[in-house]
Amino acid sequence: MLTADYIVGLTDGEGSFSVYLHPPHKKRFRYTPYYRVEWHYYIKLKDDDVSLLMKVRKFFKCGNVYFQKEERVNHKNCYRFEVSSYKDVTNVIIPFFGKHQLQCPSRRNDFRILCRIHEIVSNKRGRHLTDVNVESIKKLKVQMHV
């Protein structure tokens, strides 16, 4: 059985928090006239450790484990545990890492930024993001992964 401290350590070493901001676009026959925010919390491990990622999935009771083929030189194929649904990020990931603090400064910074962006998106209460919201999110995103 995995512990919260183990998950925090694994995330500090092999995890990541990311936010993607998709601009309005036309896709096939549909036009999406608003910005869309996409959340990602993931842990990436070499393919020998896929069973550990399955335990992480069981621990959180959400997310999925994916195979990730590596095309880059000097990189091996791996597996990735990922949580990307707004509901799971809101109800599981943010409360967990809010309670169990990350030790790695860069991971902690990325998590704090994800939380600030999440707050912006949550406060729009069903409406689309305004230009001010989008600019705020862009400014915050630049500070991630530095």
Quick: pLDDT tens for 71-103. Answer: 777 777 899 999 999 999 999 999 999 999 999
Give the span between the Cα atoms of 145 and 123, in whole angstroms: 25
Which domain does 117 fall in, by range? Answer: 4-141
Tell me whether residue 109 is exposed, middle or buried, using C-beta atoms within 10 angstroms of its C-beta: 0 to 12, 13 to 18, 19 or more. Answer: middle
Domain-located, residue 95? yes
Q: What is the dihedral of CA 52, 56, 61, 64, to 10 degrees?
A: -70
Residue in 14, 16, 18, 10 with CA at minimum distance from that of residue 59: 10
Quick: pLDDT tens for 2-15. Answer: 999 999 999 999 99
Domain-located, residue 146? no
- Amino acid 112 reads R
Give the span between the Cα atoms of 19 and 52, in whole angstroms: 25
Domain-located, residue 112? yes
Q: How many domains does the chain have?
A: 1
Return the CATH number at 129: 3.10.28.10
pTM of the model: 0.89
